[in-house]
Amino acid sequence: MAEAREVMDQVLEERDPEAAAKFLASDVVAVTPDVGQIEGRERFVDHWRQLMDAFPDIQYESRHKYESGNTAIDLGRYVGTNTGPLPLPSGESIPATGKIVKLRSCAIATVEGGLITHYEIYFDQMEMLGQLGLLPDQPGQ
C-alpha cells in the first residue's frame, strides 16, 4: 500500500480531530459541501470538531478505496445520530434533532511528505437535511 492510501485510511479511522491533525499539513486546504473552502490545519480541525460534537457517535464505513500517485479516494457512508447542535456557515446552529443520518460520501486526499495537503469531501446536503427532518413539507405529501 502506498503513502496516500495509508494516510487516508488513518485519517478516516481517527475519531479525535486533534489526533487526526498530525496527518494534516499546516497549510492544508479542505473543501466541504457545508462551508466551502477551509484553509489551515487549525480551521479544518475546528470544523471537524464541530461535526463530531453534532454527531458524537458517527461511524464511517468504507465501500471502495482507490489510489493514484499521491492521491487517495474513498467512497463510503457515514452513519450517526444528531445529538448536538449542528453548526451553520453563518455561525448560528440548528438544535439537535435526535435523528440518525446515513450519508453516502466521497473523500479525496492529496498527500505530500506523509501529510494531507488538499482534502475534499462530498455528500448530499439535501439528503442530510431531509433525514434530519429539516426540509419543509413537500406539496402533495
Q: What is the pLDDT of residue 90?
A: 84
pTM of the full predicted structure?
A: 0.89
How far apart, in whole angstroms, are the C-alpha atoms of residue 87 and residue 6?
30
Coil vs helix vs strand at 136: coil
Q: Say if residues 3 and 114 touch (Cβ distance below 8 Å).
A: yes
pLDDT tens digit sequence for 51-60: 999 999 999 9
Q: What is the pLDDT of residue 138?
A: 60
Answer yes or no: is pLDDT of 89 > 90.
Answer: no
Q: The CATH number of 3-131 is which of 4.10.640.10, 3.10.450.50, 3.40.50.970, 2.60.120.380?
A: 3.10.450.50
E strands, 33-99, where? 36-39, 59-68, 71-81, 86-87, 93-94
Residue 66, all three cell numbers: 482507490
Beta carbons within 10 angstroms of residue 101's beta carbon: 21
Q: Say if residues 44 and 28 touch (Cβ distance below 8 Å).
A: yes
